[in-house]
Amino acid sequence: MDTADYGKLFDLTGKNAVVVGGGSGIGRACAHGLAAYGATVTVADRDLAGAQETVSMAAGSTTMQARELDVLDDDQVAAAVADLPDTDVLVFTAATNVRKRILDYSPDEFDRVIALNLRSSFALVQGFGRGMVERGRGSIIGFASMRANVVEPGQSVYAATKSGLVQLLRTAAAEFGPSGVRANAIAPGVVDTPLTAQIKANQGWYDAYAAKGALGRWAEPKELAGAAVYLASDAASFVTGSVLYVDGGWTAVDGRFEPPN
């Protein structure tokens, strides 16, 4: 690459992005990040009002639009794929968690977590991935979790779905790669979002999570946007089938004991 091009490594001008789950939290931050680097962004969410708020927060941007999308509705997913045939970047964040120990889990709870976290992810990768393969370009970015790698009591089904998502994206990388399509996962640590409200409400739990990571704090959603911009851009043109941990050092630090000097 000519050195004159390095300044454009993260430029997304001319790229069409879809952010599923963009109505709040990490998805909202990713939508704003992609738009800031020039992408035209469709903010898709089951909560249309939330998606519209994401658009309205972008200071009059004309490169963002809101769309209602329930990823559990196969017809809605198919319609979104058909209506957005030139999608270059797919980011999806939608997920749920039922924090219960294995012996307390009900079949309905199991099915609910699997359906949103894994089955809908497959539908998005398959639907949007097909068009990307046909056009010979694209970047698929799914939000997994550090729980794909490390667990704790009460995280069984959630962790299984996130580990499954990583393997789904790695397989997509293998199958779509010859056509010029990349697929990667981002694995956040503890982030202050609606999904973690239960933890935040318990001060002891909140503080313990903050202390576990190397940085000693939780992340804000905006701190995940850079990872999405990177994986969407030409800066990551040779990055596929990988997991980018944005976890404040959680998975690098083993335990909380501070040895004496």
- Give the active site residues: 158
- The answer to whether 175 and 130 have CB atoms below 8 angstroms apart is no
Count of Cβ atoms closer than 10 Å to residue 256 Cβ: 8
Instruction: Please name the residues in contact with 246: beta carbons below 8 A apart, sequence gap of 6 or more.
Output: 186, 187, 188, 189, 219, 223, 224, 227
- CA–centroid distance for 2 within its chain: 32
Q: Which two structure tokens, joined as six digits, stand for 103?
A: 């012996």
Separation between Cα atoms, residue 131 and residue 109, nearest integer Å: 33
107, exposed or middle or buried, with CB in 10 Å at 0-12, 13-18, 19+? exposed
| CA 226 from centre of chain | 12
Residue entry with tokens 């040779």: 238
